[in-house]
Amino acid sequence: MELNLLTLCYLIASVTFILGLKMLSNPASARKGNLVAAFGMTVAIFGTIFLFEDNGEKLHNYIWIFAGLLIGTVAGTLSAKKVKMTAMPEMVSLFNGMGGACAALISAAEFYHIYKLHEASPETPFAELATVGHYITIVAGAIIGTISYTGSIIAWGKLNGKVKDFSFKGQHIVNMIVLVLVIATAVWVYQSNIGSMYIPFLLIGFFAFIYGILFVMPIGGADMPVVISLLNSFTGVAAACGGFLYDNKAMLTGGILVGAAGTLLTILMCKAMNRSLTNVLIGSFGGGNKATVEGGPAKAQGNYKEISLADAAMVMGYATKVMIVPGYGLAVAQAQHICHELEKILTEKGVEVNYAIHPVAGRMPGHMNVLLAEADVSYDKLMEMENANDEFKTTDVVLILGANDVVNPAAKNDPASPIYGMPILEVEQAKTVIVNKRSMKPGYAGIENDLFFQPKTSMLFGDAKKVLQDLCAEVKAI
């Protein structure tokens, strides 16, 4: 009866994972989907703690188990409560790394179990204690989980500015050599029966650890959203390996869902940038000297013009349709709430206001969607890139808040630009473009934006939050 009840717990968890992921595809149901999946995970955790049996023996050491749960719950809750929206990508990367580390430790624990069996019975060949499939699953979980862990930690460091892009001539060849060493060591451990020693297995983890660092270090900062998504899929695959090892249906389902979702998201983001995954991984796009682009120094631009707050408010207040393009600068200023306030003021004056969302705006997948959801912006007002581009031709004013590379017309007009071919928000088709930035410095990718120098574009300099507060006051006074 207990075994059947545990199976039911895992079934409930698996179903809620699937339902939760489905609900996450719609902004209106995303929060509820997260809670549904969390409920399923809770059922799986406590079902395992109290119902799991191995040869008639239940789990013990409840003090250690619940101490770990308590520490993790408190740490996770406090971190989530305190994190700023600008630091959300860093937290996602850090938590993803912890998931990879857990998956790697599961594989290490399973190998240690086999090692102890071999130690108790040395005459039994190692290959008989671990079938090829079993061993491959252990090693795959250890390697992928470790790469996900170290790669995510480096990504976390890059996002918060503690780790700089680093590359050297021939680095990708070195990376391949290290990866071959990881695989070769894994094969050697199994075939040479050296699995009777635990240290060689740790050597596999060591090489994977080094590879994870070298793998992410040269990748440019502008590609971090794709890297986070890719590493997330790695963690899912590693977790699925743990599900295979323990015949745990909930862990297997969750891992497969995370792995598949992360992989699909990575592909979609690469498509949104019109680049291959290989190019993302070896292109170093967005790293290095911000004053230059591939092919030499940044070209000289013409003159830009500024617009006053009063003029900007007048143009927007008497417009028929306004489109707001949020970017990382909006998140840095924590101005999403006052942005929503401006939207409501304009709407009350009869102006149609919507938001144009680029798939890779910000520092993580869906960053702008999360940012605006926090301010209770209506989901119906969020327009995906394709739909927004159809609307720009009939838009009176586009207000760009901290976005840069995703509105750069060089992606369409300049074959020499590193972002050439990348789909962008075609804001230049609107009648008037107002750009809010702190300065004329290039964006995260380090590329000058031709849009800022076009005749219909006006610059509105200043902190996004202060500028929006002043705009709200000016528009109200009209």
CATH number at residue 310: 3.40.50.1220
d(Cα 251, Cα 14) in Å, to the nearest integer?
8
Q: Which residue has the higher pLDDT, 121 or 341?
A: 341
The reported pLDDT for the residue numbered 278 is: 79
What's this model's pTM, rounded to 2 decimal places?
0.79
Q: Which residue is catalytic, options 376, 380, 405, 463?
A: 405
Residue 298 to residue 418: CA distance in whole angstroms: 12
- Same-domain status, 254 and 329: no
The verdict on residue 60 lying in a domain is no
- Cα distances from 276 to residues 93, 265, 420, in angstroms, run 22, 13, 13
Q: How many CA atoms lie within 13 A of 70 on its CB side?
A: 6
Q: Are residues 422 and 319 in the same domain?
A: yes
How much is the pLDDT for 442? Answer: 65
Domain that holds residue 150: 83-282
What does the mean pLDDT of the chain come to? Answer: 86
Confirm if 136 and 180 have CB atoms less than 8 A apart.
no
Does residue 473 lie within any of the structural domains?
yes
- Do residues 273 and 332 both lie within one domain? no
R_g of the chain, CA atoms, integer Å: 26
144 occurs within a structural domain? yes
* 164 falls within a domain: yes
Residue 71 falls inside a structural domain = no
Scan for tokens 């305190």, then name that residue: 82
Residue position matching structure tokens 């995370």: 258
Pair (243, 346) in one structural domain: no
Which helix (DSSP H) or strand (DSSP E) does residue 473 occupy? helix 464-477
Query: Are 230 and 111 members of one domain?
Result: yes
Percent share of the chain, pLDDT over 70: 91
**Which of 282, 316, 337 delimits the end of a domain?**
282
Does any domain span residue 76? no
Residues 162 and 130 in one domain: yes
Tell me the mean pLDDT in the region 246-272. Answer: 89
Which of 282, 309, 332 is a domain's end point? 282
Going by C-alpha positions, the residue among 231, 239, 238, 217 that lies closest to residue 89 is 231
Confidence (pLDDT) at 291: 38
Domain count, the chain: 2
Residue 356 has pLDDT above 70, yes or no: yes
Give the whole-angstrom CA distance, residue 305 versus residue 457. 7
pLDDT digits over 39-65, tens only? 999 999 999 999 888 777 888 889 999
Q: Does residue 38 surpass a pLDDT of 90?
A: yes
116 and 207, same domain (yes or no): yes
Mean pLDDT of 306-332: 92
At 457, is the secondary structure helix, strand, or coil?
strand
- Give yes or no: residues 204 and 338 share one domain: no
Assigned domain for 455 exists:
yes
Domain finish residue from 250, 282, 314 = 282
Q: Are residues 186 and 310 in the same domain?
A: no
Tell me what pLDDT residue 47 has.
92
Does any domain span residue 287? no
Same domain, yes or no: 313 and 271: no
Same domain assignment for residues 271 and 328: no
For residues 364 and 323, membership in a common domain is answered with yes
Return the residue matching tokens 């349709």: 321
Phi-psi region of 56 (alpha: psi -120 to 50; beta: other; left: phi over 0): left
- Please, are residues 323 and 342 in contact by the beta-carbon 8 Å criterion? no
DSSP secondary structure code for residue 198 in this structure: S
Does 414 participate in catalysis according to the annotation? no
